[in-house]
Amino acid sequence: MTGAMVRLLGFAVPGERDGMPIGDVLRRDYGLSRTLMTRIRQEGRITINGDEVMAWTLAVGGDQVEVWLPESPSPGVIPEAIPIDVVYEDDDVLVLNKPPGLVVHPTKGYPRGTLANAVAHYWKEKGMAMTVRPVHRLDRDTSGVILFAKNAYADQHLSEQLTTGKMKRRYWALAQGVVRPPQGTIELRIGVAGDTDLREVSPQGQVAITRYRTLETWDSHCLVEVELLTGRTHQIRAHFSHLGHPLVADGQYGAVASPLMGRTGLHAKELSFFHPTKRVRVTLTTDLPADFQAAVAKLRAQPI
């Protein structure tokens, strides 16, 4: 179903592009993929100074260009009135602080009650018929900052950053034991663990690089800041489990039951990306949720 038109881009043609086909300007200056250009030709429109034009129309320096494409709600993502915590939002992106215990997108096991259902409801209430596009995922028990693209161009631009490593993601993890050395880089390939949805360190797996530094230590636990240099499924959990320091309450990766927290001790603390249209780096942070703060407080209260 075709929805309402949404503006992907709006800009003035720079003088050095005078006489160039507008489609070439879009590809060279804004990196629009062939797939997206095809969609725009078939479903969308390009305007110059308010008049619709074809991709081969020659640009003139100073012309005001806008690119539009229809948006529709995601099929199968039923809007549900689930509260969300908006960290940042504009015409291109929506950044949320995800609570623990919430799946990001509907699956066979979780067809309803997901963050995507919540976002669909949020946009519906604002009168916006939008596709729900999570740029990256967080595990159900992981809390913290998560990014959604609000149109196809933003999705392409941000997904490329995720793939190339230009998007920076920092986590805080509460691990069993004390990690040695206190800071370093884990470069261990990760693959699927047998006939399961879990991951394990494996020479046949995909390249996985995790940088970490210890923030605080106690007798039997440590608080670690982690930066993902690659984005493999369960990367942090699998890497720290392999080192013998599974994250608190992460029973799937070898942690023992803990009185500190009732879910995996992992929080997405910071996200940094180049804005797809503003062309500046945006860095957003989230506070530790109450259960994580309480766990740290319990450890700090232990006698030395």
Q: Which residues are catalytic?
A: 139
DSSP3 helix / strand / coil % (the chain, rounded to 5)? 20, 30, 45
Burial 153-178 (b: 16+ CB within 10 A, else e): bbbbbbeebbeeeebebbbbbbbbee
Q: Which amino acid appears at position 95 of this protein?
A: V
SS3 272: strand
Residue 254 three-state SS: coil
d(CA 105, CA 223): 29
Using CA atoms, how far residue 293 sits from 59, 236, 278, in Å, is: 55, 20, 35
CA-to-CA distance for 183 and 213, rounded, in angstroms?
4
- Count the alpha carbons within 13 Å of 9 in the hemisphere toward its beta carbon: 33
What's the rounded Cα separation, in Å, for the pair 4 and 61? 30
Using alpha carbons only, what angle is made at residue 233 by residues 228 and 235, rounded to the nearest 5 degrees? 45
Q: Which residues have C-beta within 8 Å of that of residue 111, sequence separation ≥ 6?
A: none
